[in-house]
């Protein structure tokens, strides 16, 4: 197929027609430019206000980030525990220690462990993240938590406690099956290393576990 080539106007009539087309294009371009300039001039009083609002938002975000950093440092300085302290505790003291750490992180937490606790030793509430259910497993150094604990927590976190998040915490470790099952089914786990980071360094539990904000539908509630 041949290339399209433009033919130069021939004769006075064609030259006049070409000039008129060019003039129409020029008029359209001028009108478009005028409209753009007019829109900018109309919006001119608004632009400084928008810039001021954007600057205020940026300053507010910077201040919020600074406040969070100061709060995190203050939180860590107020309350922290060493792994050796956890190891020396009994089951009850371990549960109270986990409750206190949640309170340090900004949760409204209470210990509920005991007979008939339905796989919940500590329950915490927070506006952003909702409700967390903690199953505490205090072990001797070197002890491991198995999959059966994960099954129990998964089965009761939503139906019995209305939880948005469930976590099993131990001063020991977890079997590989327990970790993998928990990861697949949304039951978080905190082993000895994560416990150290939470309790000793002051990292918040919800940050350590990457907990999402409260979902509209409860993730543990079984469908009817």
* 3-class secondary structure per residue, 94-161: HHHHHHHHHHHCCCEEEECCCCCCCCCCEEEEECCCEEEEEEEECCCCCCEECHHHHHHHHHHCCCCC
pLDDT at res. 50: 64
pLDDT at res. 5: 57
pLDDT at res. 206: 95
pLDDT, averaged across the chain: 82
Quickly state the pLDDT bin for 34 (edges 50, 70, 90). confident
pLDDT at res. 92: 95
Identity of the highest mean pLDDT range in 64-68, 91-95, 156-160, 210-214 = 91-95
Which of 146, 148, 126, 123 lies closest to 135 in space, CA to CA?
Answer: 123
The residue with greater pLDDT, 109 or 18, is 109
* 219 SS3 class: coil
Distance CA 94, CA 90 (A): 6
- 5-28 exposure pattern, b = at least 16 Cβ within 10 A, e = fewer: eeeeeeeeeeeeeeeeeeeeeeee
pLDDT at res. 46: 58
Give the phi and the psi of residue 168 in degrees, each rounded to 5.
-110, 130
pLDDT at res. 224: 33
The residue with greater pLDDT, 21 or 76, is 21
64, 84, 90, 112, 203 from 79: Cα distances, Å: 23, 15, 19, 22, 11
The residue with greater pLDDT, 41 or 103, is 103
Distance CA 188, CA 195 (A): 13
pLDDT at res. 172: 96
Distance CA 10, CA 25 (A): 21
pLDDT in tens, 100-148: 999 999 999 999 977 677 889 999 999 999 999 999 999 988 899 999 9
pLDDT in tens, 172-211: 999 999 999 999 999 999 999 999 999 999 899 999 999 9
pLDDT at 69 over 50: yes
Which of 206, 210, 171, 195 lies closest to 80 in space, CA to CA?
Answer: 195
Looking at the chain, the whole-number percentage of residues with pLDDT higher than 90 is 53
Query: Among all chains, which residue has been given the structure tokens 């509630």?
Result: 221
The residue with greater pLDDT, 73 or 169, is 169
Q: 98 is written with which tokens? A: 């986990």
pLDDT at res. 66: 65
Judge contact between 219 and 185, C-beta under 8 A: no
The residue with greater pLDDT, 78 or 97, is 97
């Amino acid at each position: 197929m041949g290339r399209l080539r433009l033919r130069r106007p021939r004769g006075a009539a064609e030259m006049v027609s070409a000039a008129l087309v060019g003039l129409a294009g020029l008029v359209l371009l001028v009108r478009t430019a005028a409209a753009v300039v007019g829109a900018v001039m109309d919006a001119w009083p608004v632009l400084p206000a928008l810039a001021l609002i954007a600057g205020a938002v940026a300053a507010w975000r910077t201040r919020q980030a600074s406040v969070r950093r100061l709060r995190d440092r203050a939180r860590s300085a107020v309350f922290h525990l060493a792994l050796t302290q956890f190891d020396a505790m009994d089951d009850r003291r371990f549960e109270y220690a986990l409750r206190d750490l949640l309170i340090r992180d900004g949760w409204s937490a209470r210990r509920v462990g005991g007979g008939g606790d339905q796989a919940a030793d500590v329950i915490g509430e927070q506006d952003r993240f909702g409700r967390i259910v903690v199953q505490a497993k205090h072990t001797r150094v070197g002890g491991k938590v198995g999959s059966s604990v994960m099954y129990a927590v998964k089965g009761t976190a939503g139906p019995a406690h209305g939880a948005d998040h469930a976590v099993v915490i131990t001063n020991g470790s977890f079997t590989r099956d327990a970790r993998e099952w928990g990861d697949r089914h949304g039951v978080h786990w905190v082993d000895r290393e994560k416990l150290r980071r939470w309790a000793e360094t002051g990292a918040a539990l919800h940050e350590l576990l990457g907990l999402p904000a409260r979902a509209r539908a409860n993730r543990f509630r079984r469908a009817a």
